[in-house]
Structure 1
Amino acid sequence: MAAAGPKLDPECAAAIAVLKRAVELDSEFRYQQALVCYQEGIDMLLQVLKGTKDDKKKCNLRKKITDYMDRAENIKQYLDQEKEDGKYHKQIKIEENATGFSYESLFQEYLNETITEVWVEDPYIRNTQQLYNFLRFCEMLIKSPCKVKTIHLLTSLDQDNGRTEQVSALNEIKGSLRNHGVSLQLDYSSSIHDREIRFNNGWIIKIGRGLDYFKRPKGSFSLGYFDYDLRPCRETTVDIFHNKHTKKI
Structure 2
Amino acid sequence: MESAAVSILLRAVEMDTKERYTMALVLYQEGLQILMDLIKETKDAAKKKHFKGKAAEYMDRAETIKDLINEQKSTGKYREQTKIEAGSTGHGYATVFGRFLDASVTHIHVEDPYIRTFHQCQNLLRLCELGIQKCHLLAHVTLVTTQDPDRRKEQTAWLQELKLSLGLRQISFEFTFSSTLHDRQVRLNNGWVIKIGRGLDYFKASAGKMTLGACDMDLRPCLETSVDIFHVSQIVNKNDT
Using the size of structure 2 for normalisation, the TM-score is 0.77
Match of 1:98 in 2: 88
Identity across the alignment (%)? 46
Match among 184, 187, 204 for residue 195 of structure 1: 184
The amino acid of 1:170's aligned partner reads L
Cα pair 2:140 2:171 within 8 Å, conserved: yes
Match of 1:248 in 2: 237
Q: Does 1:237 align with 2:226?
A: yes
Question: 2:153 and 2:121 mapped to 1: Cα distance?
Answer: 13
Question: 2:7 and 2:161 mapped to 1: Cα distance?
Answer: 51
User: Matched residue of 1:198: which SS?
Assistant: strand
Question: 1:226 and 1:148 mapped to 2: Cα distance?
Answer: 24
Instruction: Give 1:239 shift.
Output: 1.2
Q: 1:118 to 1:64 in 2, by over 3 A?
A: closer
- Structure 2 stretches of 5 or more lacking a match? none
Question: 1:41 and 1:82 mapped to 2: Cα distance?
Answer: 24
Match of 1:78 in 2: 68
Match among 92, 111, 127 for residue 121 of structure 1: 111
Match among 162, 168, 177 for residue 173 of structure 1: 162
Cα pair 1:123 1:155 within 8 Å, conserved: yes
Cα pair 1:129 1:216 within 8 Å, conserved: no
Instruction: Give 1:228 shift.
Output: 1.2
- Structure 1 stretches of 5 or more lacking a match? 1-14
Residue pairs, 1:42-81, within 5 angstroms? 66-67=56-57, 69-81=59-71
Cα pair 2:191 2:231 within 8 Å, conserved: yes
Question: 2:109 and 2:123 mapped to 1: Cα distance?
Answer: 15
Question: 2:205 and 2:141 mapped to 1: Cα distance?
Answer: 26
Cα pair 2:98 2:130 within 8 Å, conserved: no
Match of 2:143 in 1: 153
The amino acid of 2:222's aligned partner reads C
Cα pair 2:83 2:226 within 8 Å, conserved: yes
Question: 2:155 and 2:162 mapped to 1: Cα distance?
Answer: 11
Match among 128, 131, 156 for residue 141 of structure 1: 131
Question: 1:72 and 1:244 mapped to 2: Cα distance?
Answer: 23
Match among 84, 98, 104 for residue 108 of structure 1: 98
Q: 1:72 to 1:173 in 2, by over 3 A?
A: closer
Cα pair 1:141 1:148 within 8 Å, conserved: yes
Question: 1:66 and 1:184 mapped to 2: Cα distance?
Answer: 45
Match of 1:209 in 2: 198
Structure showing greater radius of gyration is: 1
Q: Does 1:225 align with 2:191?
A: no
Q: 1:178 to 1:194 in 2, by over 3 A?
A: same
Q: 1:34 to 1:164 in 2, by over 3 A?
A: closer
User: Matched residue of 2:144: which SS?
Assistant: strand
Using the size of structure 1 for normalisation, the TM-score is 0.75
User: Matched residue of 1:168: which SS?
Assistant: helix
The amino acid of 2:161's aligned partner reads E
Instruction: Give 1:158 shift.
Output: 0.6
Question: 2:159 and 2:101 mapped to 1: Cα distance?
Answer: 24
User: Matched residue of 2:72: which SS?
Assistant: helix
Residue pairs, 1:5-24, within 5 angstroms? none
Q: 1:36 to 1:91 in 2, by over 3 A?
A: farther
The amino acid of 2:141's aligned partner reads I
Root mean square deviation of aligned Cα: 3.6
Instruction: Give 1:44 shift.
Output: 10
Question: 1:25 and 1:131 mapped to 2: Cα distance?
Answer: 32
- How many residues are matched? 238
Runs of 4+ with deviation above 4 angstroms: 15-46, 54-69
Instruction: Give 1:133 shift.
Output: 0.7
The amino acid of 2:132's aligned partner reads I
